[in-house]
A and B are shown apart, each in its own frame.
Chain A
């Protein structure tokens, strides 16, 4: 039976996200080919798709130049074998482990590859702040370390895609976000309301006078969207970056049990080059560091968050992307042989 990663890779809804969310943000860079850091999971559809679209270069030596894949620890041999088998060529670099561990352990092979133009952290089967783990999420630590490495190399602009499961907290089923994580997100939003008048006004304009707690219970996806953006923003501003644009899509996987909802976040990130303090010119304007928060609230306000679900959209998207995805998955370095129409 295919893994969740595999199901998601060839899912037409996911292709819709690749085409309409991710590609839109890669286009903002106006750069071809890109340097791309991805979480490798079979069958390497994102790399192959971006290669076909010309964003990734497959060299004459059959190497996806500038593409680095990191696969999570597990069955390393098989994962490695699949990473090779499913591509048209080899990735520039393939590592196994959590990105943050590789970086903090001084993995030169990986750190030397920074900076990247596009970073795709598609933790499609993971959840930040999992109820079952007391420690800080590995995924969040990855984001922190990646931003650190990007900043170290002083890259002026890059794009980051973040995907996480957003299951509702359920202590009965022991699934979803840990309550402490939800509380932390709530506190983060509350603190912003308390300290930033602009944010506060916008928040009340959208959510009327609902408290943060009420937004969590009554408008869950909005709460998660704002909270996660704030969380990422924290890591970015710390290193002198801000979000100059962002988009959000939710993908509901309701064809399979248990039902899962995935948040897909696309962030265009720029380095803050101006004076750190508030200048007269900026007076009364949204500070750079808060720009991301304002954008996410605007998206909520204007209903610009995209919702896709297998039950509602899969048939139509299958019609659009089905053949392309099939072709893409079969397109490996191996000579393609025709499929027989019958056998006896």
Chain B
């Protein structure tokens, strides 16, 4: 005997009322749709800082009414296949489809309760305007808790009772207007989505109004007006800690959109040399996103890689490597002493150019402890064929998926065998170079040392003092915090040892001085 298995309409309702974690996550869905429709440009007018209406317009191929009716009549039943490669019209630029569920409409429903979609495809004189009402999902305050609630619970019951006949759950109403365009507009194509009644929670989230709920300070107005994206990135870096505490929500939104979207890299020297393949990979998308009159690009600040204070120490680059059954991955990792903003520490996985989640500081749950090195790495993995492993919000992975597990294994192998070994080799080499320099200095000035003394490094244990005299040798304790033979400390240590050997300063006093210097430096 076989028993059919059904999913309750309640589950569908649950999914329909919001699957995206953040407003940026929901907007990312609409950006992805525009990308898949072959758009070369998308403009987002968030209505900042009032956020009363959000408008998203793209230059994609547009839709005719039949197509639109199929989409809204069968949400989740898209004919799109993720990973399909297509050429942009009138160009040789190839693109890979991002989406495949056809759930962009749910993103709209999560952001607003009323929306208007206008679209027209090329070669046609007809278009349509659809006014969508998601009213039956309402945000309700009950007992001090804000929650999403369906207006008429009977809809659920009815949907459940006729599940065998029709497994679709109505989630809204849509009024259609047929539009006619003049001949001169025949070749235009676009889709415009107007989110007319932005949900209160979204409005609150974007304007940072949750401070009232959480009794935290009100959102700050940027001290510096962000006229262009470079300024915004600077602000994002400078006030990152505030952003984590819920301040500057708008700047966060822009930053996230820039991180998620398949956008160009800004002009960075490093992309003309070490990372050229990735620049080519990303820039071939021919896709421009403008948010509130601000052209955004991948959220790398000018100077991100060229910082002289914290130069890039190691590049790790992989191109078209197989990670699982003919599936390819390219990527890079950069190692440097300090990475800011902190949210760029870790690895970012991109499928068809779109980021899946944020930078992951666990490095896809890397099982070994590598102390602070995790925070000194940043990179991106460009993965093909991973769309099946994405959860429905396309912002996280199904971690039991074979392809995903293949990617994790490949990446962890790289981390273990190339990255961390490479870094360790680099550190050892640097230490050896430093010791070599010290020895040279030692030899050069040994005649000046009192009573034929010499200076050397030695492991004396963490508990021991920095300097230790034994016979005619002054040992510097390598295990002491101030005794590490790092390149930057060699000159100081040599001078300090010289003063101790010459009995100008006692070893105890010198240790105290060096400790104080280190303390001041750290402050």
Contacts and interface: CB of A to CB of B under 8 A. Distances in A.
B227 A91 contact: yes
A85 B44 CA distance: 10
A341 B59 contact: no
Contacts of A61: 228-230, 294-295
B47 A85 contact: yes
B50 A62 contact: no
Interface in A317-344: 332-335, 337-338, 340-344
A266 to B, nearest CB: 28
Interface of A: 59-63, 77-78, 80-81, 84-85, 87-95, 109, 332-335, 337-338, 340-344
Contact of A335 (B41, B178, B229): B41
A81 B49 contact: yes
A80 B207 CA distance: 13
Contacts of B180: 340-344
Contacts of A91: 227
B19 interface: no
B224 interface: yes
Contacts of A62: 228, 290, 293-295
A78 B225 CA distance: 16
A67 to B, nearest CB: 9
B177 A80 contact: no
Given A62-B228, A81-B50, A343-B179, 11 more contacts: A60-B295, A62-B294, A63-B228, A77-B49, A77-B50, A81-B51, A335-B192, A340-B127, A340-B179, A342-B179, A343-B180
B96 interface: no
Contact of A78 (B50, B129, B185, B227): B50
Contacts of B226: 90
Contacts of B48: 80-81, 84
Residue from A93, A335, A341 whose CB has the most chain B CB atoms within 10 Å: A335
Interface of B: 41-43, 45, 47-52, 55, 57-59, 118, 120, 127, 129, 177-182, 184-185, 188, 190, 192, 224-230, 290, 292-295
Closest 10 CB pairs of A and B: A338-B185, A340-B179, A333-B293, A61-B228, A335-B57, A77-B50, A81-B50, A334-B43, A90-B227, A342-B180
28 contacts: A61-B228, A61-B229, A62-B228, A62-B293, A77-B50, A80-B49, A80-B50, A81-B47, A81-B52, A84-B293, A85-B47, A89-B294, A90-B294, A91-B227, A94-B225, A109-B225, A333-B290, A333-B292, A335-B190, A337-B188, A337-B190, A337-B192, A338-B181, A341-B180, A341-B182, A342-B179, A342-B180, A343-B180
Residue from B52, B182, B292 whose CB has the most chain A CB atoms within 10 Å: B292
Contacts of B47: 81, 85
A92 B227 contact: yes
Residue from B48, B51, B118, B184 whose CB has the most chain A CB atoms within 10 Å: B48
Residue from A60, A78, A337, A342 whose CB has the most chain B CB atoms within 10 Å: A337
Residue from B224, B228, B293 whose CB has the most chain A CB atoms within 10 Å: B293
A103 to B, nearest CB: 16
A341 B181 contact: yes
B23 to A, nearest CB: 16
A186 B424 CA distance: 85
A344 B178 contact: yes
A56 to B, nearest CB: 13
B290 A344 contact: no
A337 B182 CA distance: 12
A179 to B, nearest CB: 41
Contacts of B52: 78, 81
Contacts of B181: 338, 340-341
